Chain A
Amino acid sequence: MAFIGRTTATRGTLIKLRDTLEFIQNGQEILKMKRDRLAGELNSLLGKLASREEAEKRLMEIYVDFKGALATLGYGAVSSTASSISQMKAEVNPISIMGVVVPKIMVKEKPQINSIQNISLYEVAEKLQMEIDELLDVAQIETNIERIAYELMMINRKVNALEKVIIPAYLKLIRYIEDLLFDEDLEDFARIKHFRDAAGRKKT
């Protein structure tokens, strides 16, 4: 109970503690709801992550083609051709999923590959260009999963702390104050009864 601090056992304190407990319990409910919502989101993202395997397979096929083109043309010609290709332009915007900030990547401009003269290199570049959206999606999903998983871990800790430590402590304190107040009430009742009886005896 150390985290609650020293407190005076009064009716006012009891009312205040009951209000706080109600607030904490509401908070705990909201956190549980957020946890469920994020878990649902995580589940749906995990389903989408299956596309990564396919994307990796396609990338490996492209890589094999690229190695063939590289062996035929050599490093000089390939790096020179690559130097003529414009860079991809993308915008990364933060969006919020239940308060978790995740990046949203938007491709503004894809690399211009029309300056490639060599047909095998062009096909490799074309295939890679088609894979860009898929790769960005996978990257985005992975980042989202990472951030949501971290947030879930934090929420779990909070819920556990509320459930196992804070709420029981409050309940214990409230019960303690209630007991004290009940004892005081009983004492007062007994004293009043004693005085009333004494006053009755005097009259007779």
Chain B
Amino acid sequence: MKSPKIIYLITRIHGLKEHLLKTEDFIRMLRAKNMAEISDFLFTSDYSIELSKIPIKELDAKQLESIFYLKLSERLSFLFQITSGKVKEVLENYYRRIEVENIKRMIRAIHGKEKIREDYLIPIPRRYQTVNFLALSETRTIREMIDLLKETPYRNLKDRVEQYEKYNNPLVLEAQADKLYYSGLWQKLEKIVDKNEVKQLIGTEIDLKNLLYVFSFKRMKMEPELLEEMIVNVHYKLSKSLIPKLIGTSYETIPKILTWPPYVELANKTIELLDKEMLAETENIFSQYLYSYAETEALRNPNNLVYVFAYLNLCFREARNLTTLSVGKQLKLDEEKIRSSLFL
């Protein structure tokens, strides 16, 4: 029997999910002649308040994107207000993926000796930040930045500074940030109700991330050591023993090594797309798989805590779809091309 707080949370999420845009909404926006028509459509949605702050003439895809990600950030952080206890802790940990993304963007900018611009970052309300982004944005070197993170959940980034300097590649630190994030989240999942179902969803997400790394890095012909660094050290269906085998083989033989049938199917599709040089689509099928899985889980477990995490995944999907639509319309991409990049 679930506690009333959990039941309340799940019930609220059922309501909140109704606020998300539906597939038919995306298709309507896809048929829009230009970006202005998309913004007109969005005036009838949750984005209306933010949209109304910007004069129509000044509206562009870049501004729309920041509105979409601001809404995403608000949607995620709103859940902290309607929950408490261990579930709140997990949700706070989950929310940190936005913070991790911002830290990664800062690492890239500092590595490239670029000034950190505000539009590089996804807005996070100050009260939910565990790092001081203002101070971080003023640092000039990676070491300075890592020093500022020593009192935060990202203190262990310092363990990879030497590797970063060895490879002169920020991916090492980005991978470490991901590892810290996912291992922290994985540990927190142990303490919540419906942990098995939630772990299935989060575990699938991590597996897909690792699998995509393997495919991408093999295609990019990056050093195996670097690929090993990138792999998130949380394993679900992609067991720990499989990883060295995957790293050691060519990408064409990956399906033969994988054991979990859905991943084998996904790997076969990936190889097909890679061979056709359809690279953007290759990445999209991994995200598509995750979002479809989340949607299925939500349908299968409407009264389970996994419903909350499935909703969060769908929030991400909405932000990504809207970004694709607005950027695609601004760049005057044809309807078919935009459609192929949408997660419907």
Residue of B nearest to A73 (CB): B323
Is there an interface contact between A76 and B283, defined as CB atoms closer than 8 Å?
Answer: no
Are the C-beta atoms of B283 and A72 separated by less than 8 Å?
Answer: yes
Name the CB-closest residue of A to B322: A74
Chain B contact residues: helix, strand, loop or mixed: helix
Q: Is the CB of B109 within 8 A of A83?
A: yes
- Give the interface residue-count category, chain B: 35 or more
Asked if B108 contacts A75 (CB within 8 A), the reply is: no
Contacts of A119 in B (CB 8 A): 215-216, 219-220, 279, 282-283
When the two chains form the complex, which single residue of A75, A80, A82, A118 contacts B62, counting CB atoms closer than 8 Å? Answer: A75
Contacts of A112 in B (CB 8 A): 168
Task: Report if A84 contacts B (CB, 8 A).
Answer: yes
Q: Mark B35-66, 1 if CB is under 8 A from A, else 0.
A: 00000000000000000000000000110011
Can you list 16 A-B pairs with a CB-CB distance of less than 8 A?
A65-B280, A67-B333, A71-B327, A72-B324, A73-B323, A75-B62, A75-B119, A76-B69, A83-B120, A84-B107, A87-B112, A114-B169, A117-B171, A118-B283, A120-B280, A120-B283
Known A-B contacts A119-B216, A123-B279; the reply to A68 vs B65 at CB < 8 A is no
The answer to whether A115 touches B169 (Cβ under 8 A) is: yes
| Closest residue of A by beta carbon distance from B340 | A68
| B165-200 with Cβ < 8 A to chain A | 168-171, 174
Beyond A74-B320, A87-B112, A115-B169, 10 additional contacts (C-beta under 8 Å) are A65-B279, A67-B333, A71-B327, A72-B324, A72-B341, A75-B61, A76-B122, A83-B108, A84-B111, A112-B168
Partner among A67, A83, A115 whose Cβ is within 8 Å of the Cβ of B114:
A83
Chain B nearest Cβ from A202, distance in angstroms: 109
Assembled-state Cα–Cα distance A39/B280 (Å) = 48
Tell me which residues across on chain A come within 8 A of B7, comparing CB atoms: none
Within 11-70 of A, Cβ neighbours of B (below 8 Å) are at 65, 67-70
A71–B324 CB distance below 8 A: yes
Smallest beta-carbon distance A129→chain B, Å? 13
Q: Does B127 touch A at the CB level, under 8 Å?
A: no
Mark interface residues in A102-142 (1 if CB within 8 Å of B CB, else 0).
Answer: 00000000001011011110110000000000000000000
Q: Beta-carbon contacts of B256-282 to A below 8 Å, as 1s and 0s?
A: 000000000000000000000001101
B303 contacts chain A at the CB level, 8 A cutoff: no
B174 CB contacts on chain A under 8 angstroms: 117
Docked CA distance A79–B219 (Å): 23
Verify if A143 is at the interface (C-beta below 8 Å from B).
no
Query: Closest CB of chain A to B285's CB: distance in Å?
Result: 12
B111 touches A115 (CB 8 A): yes
Minimal Cβ-Cβ distance residue in B for A122:
B220
A71 touches B333 (CB 8 A): yes
Write the chain A residue with the least CB distance to B66.
Answer: A76
* Closest chain A residue, CB of each to CB of B222: A114
Q: Are B65 and A72 in contact (CB under 8 A)?
A: no
A-B contact count (CB 8 A): 99
- Point out the residues of chain B lying under 8 angstroms from A72, CB to CB: 280, 283-284, 324, 341
Across-interface contacts of B220 in A (CB, < 8 A): 114, 119, 122
Q: Does A86 contact B (CB under 8 A)?
A: yes
In-complex Cβ contact of B112 among A65, A85, A120 (8 A): A85
Which of A71, A76, A112 has the most chain B CB atoms closer than 10 A to its own CB?
A71
Once the chains are docked, how many angstroms separate the CA of A138 from the CA of B282?
Answer: 34
Q: Are A80 and B109 within 8 A (Cβ)?
A: yes
Partner pick for A80 among B69, B108, B169, B328, CB 8 A cutoff: B108
- Chain B residues within an 8 Å CB radius of A115: 108, 111-112, 169-171
A79 to B117, CA, bound (A): 10
| Nearest CB in chain A to that of B116: its residue | A83
Does B148 belong to the interface (CB within 8 Å)?
no
In Å, the complex CA distance between A69 and B216 comes to 15
Which residue from chain B places its CB closest to the CB of A67 in the assembled complex? B331
Q: Once the chains are docked, how many angstroms separate the CA of A82 from the CA of B2? A: 47
State the Cβ distance, B277 to closest chain A Cβ, in Å.
Answer: 8
Most interface-central of A67, A68, A69, A83 (chain B CB within 10 A): A83
The complex places the Cα of A115 from the Cα of B215 at a distance, in Å, of: 16
Closest to A80 in B: B105
Instruction: Using known A-B contacts A71-B331, A123-B279, determine if residue A76 contacts B169 with beta carbons closer than 8 Å.
Output: no
Residues facing B in A148-197 (CB within 8 A) are none
Chain B residues whose CB sits within 8 angstroms of the CB of A81 once the complex forms: 108
Chain A hits for B215, CB < 8 A? 119
Q: Is the CB of A74 within 8 A of B120?
A: no
Q: How far is the CA of A68 from the CA of B320 in the complex (A)?
A: 14
CB contact under 8 A between A76 and B341, given known A71-B324, A119-B216, A120-B280: no
